[in-house]
Amino acid sequence: MRTITTDRLLLRPWQEDDAGFLLDLESRWEVVRFLGAHPTPMRTREEALASIRRRRALDHPVHGIWVIATADGAPVGNLLLKPIRLSAGEPSGGPDEVEIGWHLHPDAWGHGYATEAAQAVLHDAFGRGLARVLAVTDPGNHASQAVCRRLGLTALGRTTRYYDTVNELFEGSPRMVAG
């Protein structure tokens, strides 16, 4: 998977060496509390390693799951672009239901890193032919909704179509990064 750089950040593939960071990130309730119908903090290094192997198996010319690292190489979070999971019983909408998502370590909140990383991934993905992107957030996740607004995504209101729960849905297109 390719790496993507921004002014302050390096987005690179997850590696097994990142297991300690991933466990530190996803074992925190404040990081996972808004994720899905039944948020579950990660508990073991083995779970982190298995998750990293699944992330590395996503081999796609446009989609990806990246470590967000600062210029000194220190990991600060996760950025994903992948097909979104539908709620049980929802009919497939085809290949245009791709989501972007972000999870930052609390020590790295408040610096604009999630927005900067997502902007770079969207610029790269739209340049490679992505036609549409979705983002979903728990209705109570105001920090993540603020990221969506900073990115220029359009708010489409609430939906139960994804992740077996109620979400605020946002949508973006290549026009966002035109010019």
Binding interface with ligand COA (CB under 6 A): 31, 34, 101-104, 109-115, 137, 141, 143-144, 146-147, 150
Query: Which tokens in the block code for residue 33?
Result: 């509390």
CB closer to ligand COA, 76 vs 130: 76
Complex with ligand COA: residue 40 or 129, whichever CB lies closer: 40
> Residue 155 Cβ, how far from ligand COA at the closest point, in Å?
13
Q: Which two tokens stand for residue 67?
A: 């470590």
C-beta closer to ligand COA: residue 56 or 150: 150
Least Cβ distance, residue 68 to ligand COA (angstroms) = 9
**Closest to 12 (Cα-Cα) out of 68, 72, 71:** 68
Q: State how far the alpha carbon of 2 is from the alpha carbons of 63, 79, 119, 124, in Å.
A: 10, 13, 16, 10
Nearest residue to ligand COA, by Cβ distance, number only: 112
The least distance separating ligand COA from the CB of residue 166, rounded to whole angstroms, comes to 13
Spell out the residues 6+ positions from residue 117 whose beta carbon is closer than 8 angstroms to its own.
6, 9, 11, 66, 68, 77, 79, 102
